[in-house]
Amino acid sequence: MIAHLVTIALLVVVLLKLYQRIGLRLGILDYPSNRGQHAHPVVVGAGIVITLVVVFVIGLLGWFDKSVLNNPLVFLAVGACLGVIGFLDDLYQLSPGTRLMFYFLGSIVFIASQPVPFEQGMFWVLTVVLLCIALVWVTNLYNFMDGLDGFATVQAIAVLGGMAILAALSPAPAHELIGMLLVPCAALVPFLFFNWAPASMFLGDAGSVFLGFYLGAMGLVAFNVQPTLAIAWLILMAPFLVDATLTLLLRVAAGNSPYIPHRDHCYQRLARMTGKASLCTLGLGFLQLCWQFPLAWWATMGDSPTWLVVIFSVIPSLCLLVYSRQAT
């Protein structure tokens, strides 16, 4: 597996170099805006390389097991389609309604292909609806949180890598998830060198939408395989879930439209306060390594009440959110 992962990383480097040249030549650039933190145009949409490599490699190598992922080709097809939709959004700025329509369609198709813990009936319909809303929200919030150099990339590596370690330490059925968790990690690690502040390339919607869907789908699959692994997913995702969800609720409560790009997220406020995007990204990595992952391991391996561990996991994110809003 190690040889495969190294090959994936090298392939991504070559393709990213090629995409960078094409992006500069064709003007596929993200210009400074109210949402972003960058001061100069940057090549955007490089996430399409991550999307296509991950989908192709997992499909080619067959690193999935139908016992833990029903209809894996449906999962890969939906992920690829959402990545392409994101890339089109990078190029042509699709409307929020159009994007959400595709997110919902993709989520419905994927969830309908997976086992739901109820027989068909009222509870089955309600469960499917709630799962679709949750998956769309995770997909969308990841796009919201991709506004700082290296930030979304580090989060994805931390969540996928952390889950891969915990899956390796878990009972045998969870081992089938390891390949699906490590392939995107192998693609994202070399991308981080291009995405680190000051970034020369951005994921764009092509990458953030795909990663949001991929991470959300892995949370659902983890629940079907081993519920404690899904709790670990929730803990590792906590920094993004707390920031994106509470920021949106606070903006709506203040009378702001949820569709207007902004820089009110906790990580954006902290970046303006420190003046360094890299400092915030390093802070996220430190938080994941020293707080989120140990708690995720505790929830998976320990005997403590999982609800208590989840509460502990959101404390730093809540404190940072409150501090950032009071200080700016």
- Note the pLDDT of residue 224: 87
Burial class (CB in 10 A: 0-12, 13-18, 19+), 5: middle
Separation between Cα atoms, residue 280 and residue 130, nearest integer Å: 33
- Note the pLDDT of residue 67: 67
| pTM score, whole prediction | 0.95
* Closest C-alpha to 310, from 247, 226, 236, 243: 236
- Note the pLDDT of residue 170: 85
- Note the pLDDT of residue 258: 84
- Note the pLDDT of residue 211: 98
- Note the pLDDT of residue 35: 62
- Convert the pLDDT of each residue in 133-165 to its tens digit: 999 999 999 999 999 999 999 999 999 999 999
What are the start-end ranges of the E strands in 130-281?
Answer: none
Q: Which residues, in sequence order, are CB contacts of 73 under 8 Å at separation 6+?
A: 59
3-state secondary structure of 42: strand
Q: Each residue's pLDDT tens digit in the chain (328 positions)?
A: 889 999 999 999 999 999 999 999 999 998 876 666 666 789 999 999 999 999 999 988 877 766 678 888 899 999 999 999 999 999 999 999 999 999 999 999 999 888 776 566 677 788 889 999 999 999 999 999 999 999 999 999 999 999 999 999 987 778 889 999 999 999 999 999 999 999 999 999 999 999 999 999 999 999 988 889 999 999 999 999 999 999 999 999 999 888 888 889 999 999 999 988 899 999 999 999 999 999 999 999 877 789 999 999 999 999 999 999 998 7
With b for 16 or more beta-carbon neighbours within 10 A and e for fewer, the 21-55 pattern comes to eebeeeebebeeeebbbbeeebbbbbbbbbbbbbb
- Note the pLDDT of residue 24: 95
- Note the pLDDT of residue 303: 76
Across the strands, what pairs with 29?
A: 43
